[in-house]
Structure 1
C-alpha cells in the first residue's frame, strides 16, 4: 500500500522504532484514559507508585508490539494497513484489561486516534448509551470472541474517509 518515492500512503501502518516515542505515547494513553474517566461514571482508583509503573509498562508492551520492528519485522510487514494496526491495539488494550475500568472505551478512542494520525477519520455514531453505540458493541464482541480483530479492521476500513492534512 505504499506510494512511490518512499512516501507513506494514508493507510500504511505507523512505525515508531524509538523507545522514547513509545514511552511518550504510553503516557498519552494514560492521560487519555484519565480524561475519559473524569467524564464518565467509572470505577477507578489512583494510579500511583508500583501500580502506575505496571500499567505504564503494560501499555508500552502493547504499543511496542504494534509500532516497533520486532525480530527484524517492521509493522509494515505485520499489518496490512493502519486499520489492521489500530484494531490490533484496540483488541489488546481491551482484552488485556490494563485498567480497572474504561478499557473498551479507552481502546476505541486510541484506535480512532491512531487512524487519525494518517489523516483518515472513521464515521461512526457515538451514542453515549453503550447498548446503542455500534463501536462499543464491536469492542464488546471482540473481547467476548463473537467478532475478530480482522472483522473490526474491515468495519473501520468501510467507514473511513481521508481528511485534509
Structure 2
C-alpha cells in the first residue's frame, strides 16, 4: 500500500539524540508492560534503572536501523519505512536483549513506530497463535521462515495511512 511517495519514506533520526533516547526508553517501557503479570521477576521495573549493557544493546539495534552508518543514510539503505521496520523487528526479536518478551516487544514497537509515523497495520490479532497474523509474522522472523523483504511485504499489504 505504501511507498516513499505517499509518506512511507524511511525514518532518519540522525542528530536527534533526544528522540533516540526517548525511543530507547519506550522500548523498555513496552518490555516492562509486556511481561508484567507473566510471572517473570522483573528487576529493574523502570527503564531508568536498566543495566547499561542492556541499554547499549537496545541503542545498537535502534541505531543500526535509524541512524546513518558509514555515510549511508536510512533512506539509502531501505526502500521504505516498512522495510526499515521489518529490519528493526528482525534484529530486535533475534537479539534476545531481554530474558523474555523480545518477540512481543519487537511487534509492539514495530507497530508503535509505524503509528507514530502515520501508519496503522491491520492484521488478525486472534488469541489463538495459529490464527494470529502478528504472532505468525514474528515467529517467521525468529525461525528464519521469511526474510526481511517478505516481512516488509506483509506490513505494506496490511498498512493503512492514518488520517490526520
Give the TM-score band, short-chain normalised. 0.7 to 0.9
**1:29 to 2:27 alignment:** yes
- Any idea what the Cα deviations from partners look like across 1:45-84, whole Å, max 9, x if unmatched? 3138996211111110011111111111110000111101
Structure 1: 5+ residue stretches without partners = 4-8
**CA distance in structure 1 between the partners assigned to 2:82 and 2:41 by the alignment:** 30
- In the TM superposition, what are the counterparts of 1:128-143 in structure 2 within 5 Å? 128-143=127-142
Aligned partner of 1:6 in structure 2 is: none
Deviation at 1:135, TM superposition (A): 1.4
Deviation at 1:44, TM superposition (A): 4.2
Q: Does the 8 Å CA contact 1:44/1:101 hold for their aligned counterparts?
A: no
Structure 2: 5+ residue stretches without partners = none
Distance 1:32 1:61, change over 3 A: same
- In the TM superposition, what are the counterparts of 1:38-49 in structure 2 within 5 Å? 38=36, 41=38, 43-47=40-44
**CA distance in structure 2 between the partners assigned to 1:86 and 1:137 by the alignment:** 16
Aligned partner of 1:87 in structure 2 is: 86
CA RMSD of aligned residues (A): 2.0
**CA distance in structure 2 between the partners assigned to 1:100 and 1:30 by the alignment:** 13
TM-score, structure 2 length as denominator? 0.88
**CA distance in structure 1 between the partners assigned to 2:64 and 2:158 by the alignment:** 25
Distance 1:164 1:132, change over 3 A: same
Deviation at 1:128, TM superposition (A): 3.1
What SS class does the counterpart of residue 8 from structure 2 fall into?
Answer: coil
Distance 1:42 1:93, change over 3 A: farther
**CA distance in structure 1 between the partners assigned to 2:49 and 2:162 by the alignment:** 41
TM-score, structure 1 length as denominator? 0.87
